[in-house]
A and B are shown apart, each in its own frame.
Chain A
Amino acid sequence: MIPFLALVRKDLKLFFSDRKAMMIGLVVPIVCGSFFGYLFGGRRGETETSKVPVLVIDQDSSDISRGLIRQLADDKNLDVKPSDIEAARLAVRKGKATAAIVIPKDFGTNAGHALFTASAKPELTLLYDPSHAVELGMVKGILSGAVMQAVSKEMFNGKMGREMLNGSIGQVENNPDIPAADRKALSDMLAGVKEWNTQQQESGGPSGGLTLPFHTHDEAITSGENDEYNGYAHSFGGMGVQFILFMGLDVGIALLMLRQSGLWQRLRAAPLSRTMLLGSRAVSAALIAGFILFVLFTFARVVFGVHIRGSMAGFVGVCAAFSLMTAAFGLMVAALGETIEATRGYAVMATLIMVMLGGAWVPTFVFPAWLQKLTVVVPTRWAMDGIDGMTWRGLDISAAVAPMAIMLAFTLLFGAIAVMRFRWRTEG
C-alpha cells in the first residue's frame, strides 16, 4: 500500500506543483464554458438574442406594401431595413443580410383581389443566404403572418380596400363562369365586407386585420416550476467533459514519455506489480478530473447561479464515473500509442469526435434523429446526459444510474485494452 499511495501522491504533487499549467487547465474551460453558456441562452432572459437582418425592396409603394413593411419591422426577431434590388443582392451575397424581400409593383392590388377571388396571386421574391436555412424558415413564417395581416387590414379598413372591393364585386357579378347561386353568395359576402369597411372608416375604429387566432403560453420544463433554464449548466458540463478528456489524453501521452525515460526504468526495477503501476495512474488521473469538475461547477454556481437541481449523489456518481472513464481512456491511449507525435494526433482526433458527438459543444437534441440514435455508443453522450439530468433538469438519482453504469462499462473496456496492449518492457 505504501508504494501505491506514493505513486498517487507523486502524480498529485506534480499536478499541483506546476501552478501555471494547472491554472491554464482550469481557466480555459471556465472561459469556454462562460462563452458557450452566454451564447446558448445564459441565464434565461439575460441574453439578448441577435435579430435576423432583412432588407425590403418596396417596388409597390401602396398602402398595403407600406403596412406590410411596418408589420415586419415591428417583429422583435427581425432587423428590417429598406433597400434597392442591386444593393440587396450584394448585401445577401456578402452575408450582411440573411434575406431580402422584393415587394413587386401592384402587389397590394393583386393581393387584395386574390384574398377573396380566384384571381392570380402576386409573387413575393425572397433573396436569401443559403447558409442561413434555419433563419429563412423563420423569416417566411413571419412574412406569411405579416402579409395576411397587412392585406386583410386594408381590405377591412382602408380606402384602397374599398376600391378593390368595388372592383371585386363587379368582377364576380360579371363572371359567367361562376354558378348563379355562388355568384350571389360571393357578392353578398363582398358587399358585407364593404359595408364593414365603410362603417370602420366612418367610426374611425381600429381594425387589426386578420391575425393568428391564438397565442402560445411558453413554459420551460426544468427542475421546478420556478426554476428557469440556465444555459451555463450545460456549457460548464460540456467544457468540463472536453477538457477532462484532454487531461486524460495528457495522462496517456505522459505515460508514453515516461516509458522512454530513466524514470520508467527505475519504476520497473522496483518490486511493483503492473496493476499497481497502471492502477495508481488511473486513480490519480480520476482524482485530478474530479478536482477540475469540482472547481468548474463551484465557479458556475458562484458566478452564474448553476445549481445541482437533481440528486447531489447522482451528480457526484456521474462525475466519478466519468473521471474513472477518462483515466482509463488515458491509459488506453498510452497502450495503443506508438510514437508520441502520432499518438497525440490520433488521440486528439478521437477526443474531439467524442466531445462533438457527446453533445458537449451543442446539445444532442439539435442533431438529426439518426445521429441522436448513433451517439448512444459514445461515452461522453452519457456523461452529458448524466450531468444535464442532475443539474438543470433536476432529475432524481435513478436518472444517473444508466449513465454511471455505461461509463463504468467503458472504464472496464478501456482499462482491459490498456492492460492487454501495454508494452511493459523497455526495448531498445
Chain B
Amino acid sequence: MLNSSAMLEAKLLKKSYGKLVAVDGVSLHADAGETIGLLGPNGAGKTTTVSMIAGLVAPDSGEVLIEGKKVLSDTDPVKGRIGLVPQDMALFDKLSAYDNMTFFAALYSISGAKAKQAIREALELVGLAERAGDKVETFSGGMKRRLNLAAALLHDPQILLLDEPTVGVDPQSRNAIFENLEALKKRGKTLVYTTHYMEEAERLCDRIVIIDHGKVIADDTLQGLHRLLPVNNVISIELDKVDGFRPEQLLGLSEVKSAEVQNGTLRVGVHDLSRGAPGVLRWLVENNHPYHHVASEQPDLETVFLTLTGRSLRDAR
C-alpha cells in the first residue's frame, strides 16, 4: 500500500500509553488531491494517529513523511504543509473571528496584506466573512466549527488533517462543512478525515481506512470495501404477518445468502438483485406469506464494519 510519491505517508506507527496500545502498526498514505477517511469507533486510535501525523505525539516506532520528508524539529518548515483542524474547538472566544484569524496566520509568519487576503479567502470559503468583526463567543456551534476549519487554511497547507470536524453540529452546518471540504478537494488539497459517521465517510472519501483497536483492518475505496461483503444487496420486505415466519427457510433458495427479521421487516441478502429478488418474492407468495412493501438497498459501512469486526460500529463506540 505504501507509495513513494504520496503526499502523506505513515509507516508502521505504534503508540502505547502504559499498557494500553493505542496505535499498533498503522500504515497509510494519501496522494495529492485525495481524500481519505479514517473510520472507526471512539477509542479506535484515529485521533492518536492524526496526532502523530501532525507531530503532536511522538510515535514509539514508525515514521511520518510529508512529501517524502520527515519532520525534523519543532520549527521545521515542512510542518507548514499541514493544516490541523483539531476535534476540540481551537479558537479564542473572547477575540473576534478576524483577530483569531490574524493570530493563526501570524503563527506561520503571515502578516500584512498577505494575511488580509488569506483571512478574507478563508472566511469567504466558510461563509463567515460578514461576521469577521464579531467575537467568537457570539457564534453558534456550527459557525465555530466552520471558523475552526478556516483557521487551518490560512497558510494554504497542502494536507488538511480533520479530526472529527462535525462533532456536535446541526445537519445544516454539517452540510455547509461538507460543501467547504468538497471545495477544498476540488482545489487539489489532500484531506485526511477522521470520523465515526459512516455517511460522512461515504459522501466525502475516495478511500476509507477502517481502524479498530489501533490496527488498520481495511483500506480501500467504498466499492472495494463492498466487495469484501458476502452480499451486495439487501431486499427489505414488509410482511403482512411475521408471527410464526421462519426466515431460515429462505436459505434454501440458491441466490439467498442471509435472511432475518428485524423490527417486523424481512431482510434478505443476495449477491445479484435481478436474479435473487424474483425468486424470493415468488417463494413468499407460494408459501402464503403476503407482503405489502418491497425495497432494496446496498449495504453501508456499518455493514462492512460488522462484517470485518463482528461488532456493530455503534456498539463499538
Contacts and interface: CB of A to CB of B under 8 A. Distances in A.
Interface of A: 2-3, 5-7, 9-10, 13-14, 17-18, 261-263, 265-274, 425-428
Given A6-B103, A266-B84, A14 B92 contact: yes
Interface of B, secondary structure class, is loop
28 contacts: A2-B106, A2-B109, A2-B111, A3-B107, A3-B109, A7-B107, A9-B103, A10-B103, A14-B92, A17-B95, A18-B94, A262-B90, A265-B51, A265-B90, A266-B84, A266-B86, A266-B104, A266-B107, A268-B54, A269-B55, A271-B75, A271-B80, A272-B74, A425-B58, A426-B51, A426-B56, A426-B57, A427-B17
Contacts of B104: 266
Given A3-B109, A266-B151, 20 more contacts: A2-B109, A3-B106, A6-B103, A6-B106, A9-B103, A10-B95, A14-B95, A17-B94, A261-B90, A263-B91, A265-B54, A265-B84, A266-B86, A269-B79, A271-B79, A271-B108, A274-B74, A426-B57, A427-B17, A428-B17
Contact of B95 (A13, A268, A273, A274): A13
B180 interface: no
A24 to B, nearest CB: 15
Interface string B34-55: 0000000000000000010011
A265 B151 CA distance: 13
Given A261-B90, A427-B17, A269 B54 contact: yes
A13 B99 contact: yes
Interface string B1-18: 000000000000000010
A10 B57 CA distance: 25
A427 B102 CA distance: 28
A273 B108 CA distance: 12
A346 B105 CA distance: 37
Nearest to A270: B107
Nearest to B79: A271
Closest 10 interchain pairs by CB? A6-B106, A262-B88, A262-B86, A262-B90, A270-B107, A269-B84, A271-B79, A266-B90, A265-B86, A426-B56
Given A271-B79, A427-B57, A6 B107 contact: yes
Interface of B: 17, 51, 54-58, 74-77, 79-80, 82, 84, 86-92, 94-95, 99, 102-104, 106-111, 148, 151-152
B107 A273 contact: no
Nearest to B109: A2
A3 B84 CA distance: 17
A14 B90 contact: no
Nearest to A424: B74
Contact of B102 (A6, A266, A268, A425): A6
A269 B84 CA distance: 7
Contacts of A2: 106, 109-111
Contact of A273 (B74, B80, B82, B91): B74
Contacts of A13: 95, 99
Contacts of A9: 103
B79 A270 contact: yes
Nearest to B107: A270
Contacts of B92: 10, 14, 263
Contacts of B87: 262
A268 B71 CA distance: 13
Nearest to B86: A262
| Interface core residue of B88, B102, B107 (most chain A CB under 10 Å) | B107
B56 A270 contact: no
Given A271-B77, A272-B74, A273-B75, A425 B57 contact: yes
Which has the most chain B C-beta neighbours within 10 Å: A2, A9, A425?
A: A2
Contacts of B89: 262
A274 B148 CA distance: 23
Given A269-B54, A272-B75, A14 B107 contact: no
The CB with the most chain B CB atoms within 10 A, among A17, A263, A266, is that of: A266
A13 B96 CA distance: 11
Contacts of B86: 262, 265-266
B107 A267 contact: yes
A353 to B, nearest CB: 32
B166 to A, nearest CB: 14
A2 B58 CA distance: 27
A197 B91 CA distance: 93
Contacts of A7: 107
Nearest to B115: A2
B74 A265 contact: no
Contacts of B106: 2-3, 5-6
Contacts of B110: 2
Contacts of B58: 425
A3 B111 CA distance: 9
A266 B105 CA distance: 11
Given A3-B106, A426-B56, A426-B57, A14 B94 contact: yes
A33 to B, nearest CB: 28
B190 to A, nearest CB: 16
Contacts of A265: 51, 54, 56, 84, 86, 88, 90
Contacts of B17: 427-428
A274 B73 CA distance: 10
A269 B99 CA distance: 19
A366 B5 CA distance: 75
B55 A268 contact: yes
Contacts of B55: 268-269
A13 B74 CA distance: 26
A10 B94 CA distance: 11
B108 A425 contact: no
B98 to A, nearest CB: 12
Given A14-B95, A269-B79, A263 B107 contact: no
